[in-house]
């Protein structure tokens, strides 16, 4: 912990130096566990309905970072070291939200190995997870190519661009808005879980936060979906934790 000396005429310079030192320390600590999410660049011929595609991933990493690829979005998470960032990753098509097969990647740049920590699958909402560990100091530029194909049975699979997680969240959002006053809103965490298939249906489960002018509450939500058709059968939410309310009555419904 930084402890600043008491300021007087005799130790003013010492106080300034200590203040700068504390600021740098907190800035260094704050750089770890840093998340950046952005939309990938689009190559010529971009088509969200295409059932196969390719991405060229380019990132700068100093020490340790994770990359998540889902649809047309990339999330760069700094675990240790200076803030990692994207350097112009781009795709020919978005990776399908509901069926990915023959997923492959090939590293083309970087002094250390890029590892595929998680294959995209239905249980992780078709999210590919890559890990990079660069311990030499100073950071380096990493590049790798990703390719994939969608389900061969086009007649039985929903469109490649259909995202049932977002469809679930939108169903829950509309239910929340119908119960609450104007100005209320709900935000969802980026990740969601699938709790398995039963009788041709799956349960999607996630977390978020609900707010209006007077109160703030954490929520959990769940939906029943039909994987083959992409139809949301039902969706609802529940409040979790005590939350915050100005008038202590919690106006959110």
For residue 209, give the nearest of 181, 224, 189, 193 by alpha carbon. Answer: 189
How would CATH label the architecture of 164-245? Roll (3.10)
pTM value surpassing 0.85: no
pLDDT digit string (tens) for the chain, length 253 residues: 444 444 444 444 444 334 334 433 333 344 446 788 889 999 999 988 788 899 999 999 999 999 999 999 999 999 999 999 999 999 999 998 888 889 999 999 999 999 999 999 888 889 999 999 999 988 999 999 999 987 766 555 556 678 889 899 999 999 999 998 888 999 998 778 888 767 778 899 999 999 988 888 999 999 998 877 778 999 999 998 766 554 445 578 8
CA dihedral 96, 98, 99, 104 (to 10 degrees): 50
DSSP-derived letter for residue 96 is P
CA dihedral 189, 169, 204, 78 (to 10 degrees): -20
Rg of the Cα atoms in the chain: 23
Q: List the domain boundaries for the chain.
A: 32-149, 164-245
């Amino acid at each position: 912990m930084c402890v600043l000396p008491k300021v007087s005429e005799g130790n003013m310079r010492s106080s300034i130096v200590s203040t700068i030192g504390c600021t740098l320390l907190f800035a260094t600590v704050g750089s770890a566990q840093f998340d950046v999410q952005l939309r990938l660049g689009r190559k010529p011929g971009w088509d969200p309905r295409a059932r196969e595609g390719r991405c060229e991933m380019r990132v700068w990493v100093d020490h340790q970072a994770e990359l998540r690829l889902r649809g047309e979005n990339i999330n760069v998470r700094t675990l240790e070291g200076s803030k990692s960032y994207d350097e112009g990753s781009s795709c020919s098509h978005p990776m399908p939200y509901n069926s990915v097969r023959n997923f492959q990647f090939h590293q083309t740049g970087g002094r250390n190995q890029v590892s595929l920590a998680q294959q995209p699958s239905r249980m992780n909402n078709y999210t590919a997870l890559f890990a990079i560990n660069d311990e030499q100091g100073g950071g380096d530029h990493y590049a790798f190519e990703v390719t994939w194909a969608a389900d061969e049975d086009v007649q039985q699979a929903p469109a490649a661009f259909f995202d049932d997680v977002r469809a679930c969240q939108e169903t829950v959002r509309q239910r929340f808005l119908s119960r609450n006053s104007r100005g209320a809103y709900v935000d969802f965490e980026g990740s969601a879980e699938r709790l398995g298939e039963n009788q041709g249906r799956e349960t999607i489960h996630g977390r978020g936060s609900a707010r209006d002018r007077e109160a703030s509450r954490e929520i959990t939500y769940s939906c029943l979906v039909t994987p083959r058709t992409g139809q949301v059968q039902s969706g609802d939410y529940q409040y979790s934790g005590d939350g915050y309310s100005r008038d202590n009555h919690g106006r959110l419904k």
